[in-house]
Structure 1
Amino acid sequence: MLHRITGLMDKGMPVSVLFTEEMGEDTSLLYCELIQRARSGESFLIRDQGCRAGAFVLGDTQISPEDYYYTSKRYRDRDAAKNAVSNLHRIAKKEGSIRIAPYSGRDFDILILFLKPERAMRLVQAFTYEDGSAVELKTGGIASVCSDCTAYPMKGKLGISPGCKGSRKHSRYPDDELVVGIPAQLARRIETALGKIPGTVE
């Protein structure tokens, strides 16, 4: 059990995301909504979810969401929308389903947390403790939970995102929270370092 990591969250539990060969159900809920519900105690085994951008990011479709982003007026023109989509982190092709549940100590691929900035800072400091390597933020302010904090960490990277319009609108996590995705291979390193780094006000 990652007690120090789970202790960083003020409300709810970190969410375990596990890609599995099991056969899940389709849902109209968005991926970010499922993550937020799991934070509050629900569990899901899903094959497809209800977000077009999420489906592209999570490897369920090759259909680009650039038209959606352009018509929603998030970009000046289609070229900007196309470029934004090309910068999304993606899972090439998903086989099977995704198990989404409150973290209970069981295996996971990605652990998703919602943190106040000071707590996110401590997580970054724990990551850098071992060798001083900096965390690279890779975000365009879109597809935050699925791209920034799920697909990007699947590459073995720590994902940190300020969120996106869609996830904040639909899952309504507070304005003072950032989203963080920790890949399984980094979790133990971060957990150990959290017990070694100095406190914020020391």
Structure 2
Amino acid sequence: MIIKESAKWLNILLQLERKPVGIKFLLTREDYDAFPASENKNRMSYCTVVKRAGDGISQKIHRGHSACMGGAMALGLEETIQEAISGRRRFYQGAYRDLGVCRNISKNMVFCEHKAYGVAVMPLEAFDTEPDVVIIVCNPFNGMRIVQGYSYKNGHATNIKLSGMSAICQECTSLPYEENQLNLSLLCSGTRMLARWKKDEMAIGMPFRLYLEVVEGLKNTVNPLERNAEKEQIAEKLLQEEFTNQLEIKYNHNYDDNAYKGGRVEKRD
């Protein structure tokens, strides 16, 4: 119940075009076979599967489904190859200035250390058991609100890592999972081509337990941080979901009331 209710709250509190996506690692063949989700018949990149989940499609994939080696390595579906560890592959592709920078990129990427048979990728609301990671694809405004929701209980997000490389698979899935933290991504050139995200979209990944804290933080920061126009949209959704008694909207009230001064500049002595 908490999963579906939290997804409903997220829809109320944010103006999202895509559903939040849950990720569940299926470590064994038995786990994979038992998980109630359909398989895709064709190879597809993990990030494309995530996008499809944001559009409402539930799937599970194993390494045979993967069309992107980088994504499979990040998730622990494939062994990490030496060229990726050393940085040599990216150096020869011309992505970075020299091999040292490439090695720095590789060293700071956080791949899953487990060996997984597969992974379930579904709209969060479709899960009956807790997923391991939640990914939210959104615009920067909603990204700001998610970070504000996180900061309500946790303060600064001090360990953000991003490089515009291996975005959905590493920056939003394996890193949040392994490091037990929230992480931001501005996406990467590969996923923007394969999954065809909009140019103003970004993504945020986090463990499920942090996601619940973010939702609670969003609820508690509506009145101090949202403006009247957004508050009206939230109030309308609260009414639609019959949640009006669970959150009181206070108009014309914000954290920065009386903080800004206009008018002409006074002469200095």
Q: TM-score, normalised by structure 2?
A: 0.69
**2:105 is matched with which residue?**
84
User: Kindly, what percent of the aligned residue pairs are identical?
Assistant: 27
Question: Per the alignment, do residues 195 and 77 of structure 1 end up closer, same or farther by CA in structure 2, a change over 3 Å counting?
Answer: same
**Pairwise mapping of residues 54-133 of structure 1 onto structure 2 (< 5 A)?**
54-59=71-76, 60-64=78-82, 65=84, 66-104=87-125, 106=127, 107-133=130-156
User: Is 1:142 aligned to residue 168 of structure 2?
Assistant: no
What amino acid sits opposite 1:36 in the alignment? K
Q: Which has the higher helix share?
A: 2
What amino acid sits opposite 1:92 in the alignment? E
Count of residue pairs brought into register by the alignment: 202
Question: Per the alignment, do residues 160 and 9 of structure 1 end up closer, same or farther by CA in structure 2, a change over 3 Å counting?
Answer: farther
Q: Is the 8 A contact 2:24 2:120 kept in 1?
A: yes
Question: Per the alignment, do residues 9 and 19 of structure 1 end up closer, same or farther by CA in structure 2, a change over 3 Å counting?
Answer: farther
The alpha-carbon deviation at position 94 of structure 1 amounts to 2.4
Higher alpha-carbon deviation: 132-141 or 54-63: 132-141
Structure 2 counterpart of 1:167, from 191, 195, 220: 191
User: Is 1:183 aligned to residue 207 of structure 2?
Assistant: yes
**Pairwise mapping of residues 27-42 of structure 1 onto structure 2 (< 5 A)?**
28-42=43-57
The alpha-carbon deviation at position 148 of structure 1 amounts to 0.8
Question: Per the alignment, do residues 9 and 39 of structure 1 end up closer, same or farther by CA in structure 2, a change over 3 Å counting?
Answer: farther
CA deviation string 1:50-73 (max 9, x = no partner): 212112211221214334422332
User: Is 1:15 aligned to residue 9 of structure 2?
Assistant: no
Which has the larger Rg? 2
- Unpaired runs of 5+ residues, structure 1, are none
- Unpaired runs of 5+ residues, structure 2, are 34-38, 228-253, 255-269
When the two chains are superposed, the root-mean-square deviation of aligned CA atoms in Å is: 2.0
Q: TM-score, normalised by structure 1?
A: 0.90
The alpha-carbon deviation at position 9 of structure 1 amounts to 5.1
User: Is 1:44 aligned to residue 59 of structure 2?
Assistant: yes
User: CA separation in 2, counterparts of 1:67 and 1:30?
Assistant: 23
User: Is 1:156 aligned to residue 180 of structure 2?
Assistant: yes
Q: Is the 8 A contact 2:16 2:142 kept in 1?
A: no
User: CA separation in 2, counterparts of 1:111 and 1:50?
Assistant: 22
User: CA separation in 2, counterparts of 1:159 and 1:101?
Assistant: 20
User: CA separation in 2, counterparts of 1:131 and 1:18?
Assistant: 24
User: Is 1:192 aligned to residue 216 of structure 2?
Assistant: yes
Q: Is the 8 A contact 1:56 1:90 kept in 2?
A: yes
Query: What's the secondary structure of 1:104's corresponding residue?
Result: helix
What amino acid sits opposite 2:80 in the alignment? Q
Q: Is the 8 A contact 2:157 2:182 kept in 1?
A: no
Query: What's the secondary structure of 2:122's corresponding residue?
Result: strand
